[in-house]
Amino acid sequence: ADTNREVTDRLNDVCKLLQESVEYYDWVGFYFKNGDKEELKLRTYVGAPTDHEIIPFGKGICGQVAVSNENFVVPDVQAQDNYIACSINVKSEIVIPLFKNGENIGQIDIDSDTPDPFTEKDERFLEFVNQEVAKIL
């Protein structure tokens, strides 16, 4: 069996569930470090198609989280200088690093068409989601 494929399907189910459950979660995806390269690769997502399948470390919100190992909440994407725009509809973003055995191996990225919707509750919730996801990786 293609175990890797099964994991990606399950990650996509998580994306779907989150997008369906929270009204302001419009685009939900998982990026992971791409082998030994200094870049992130999009593994699976739900929402509008994006051109940003690969993101170099340090670039955009996602690339910054890859090196900071810290949550990044962006209430207003237009106010960010190091930001990679995916869609003109996106107003805000949250990126939470995903740790496996203490190592930052990827992240969940959520875009919202609503301005400033994310609170500490989203951070705690998505940290929990990532902890659960780490168990199947």
Residue nearest to ligand SME (CB): 60
3-class state of residue 117 by DSSP: coil
Contact with ligand SME (CB under 6 A) among 7, 50, 113, 129: 50
Q: Kindly state whether residue 52 participates in binding ligand SME, applying the rule CB under 6 A.
A: yes
Q: How far is the CB of 82 from ligand SME (least distance, A)?
A: 7
Q: How far is the CB of 4 from ligand SME (least distance, A)?
A: 22
Smaller CB distance to ligand SME: residue 93 or 122? 93
Site for ligand SME in 72-101 (CB under 6 A): 83-84, 86, 93
On whether the CB atoms of residues 102 and 131 are closer than 8 A, the answer is no
Q: Kindly state whether residue 111 participates in binding ligand SME, applying the rule CB under 6 A.
A: yes
Q: Kindly state whether residue 41 participates in binding ligand SME, applying the rule CB under 6 A.
A: no
On whether the CB atoms of residues 29 and 41 are closer than 8 A, the answer is no
CA atoms within 13 A on the CB side of 122: 26
DSSP state of 77: G
Of residues 67, 75, 87, 10, the one with CA closest to residue 44? 10
Element containing residue 70 per DSSP (H, E): none
Phi, psi angles (nearest 5°) of residue 37: -80, 155
Q: How far is the CB of 5 from ligand SME (least distance, A)?
A: 22
Interacting residues toward ligand SME by CB under 6 A = 27, 29, 50, 52, 55, 60-63, 83-84, 86, 93, 109, 111
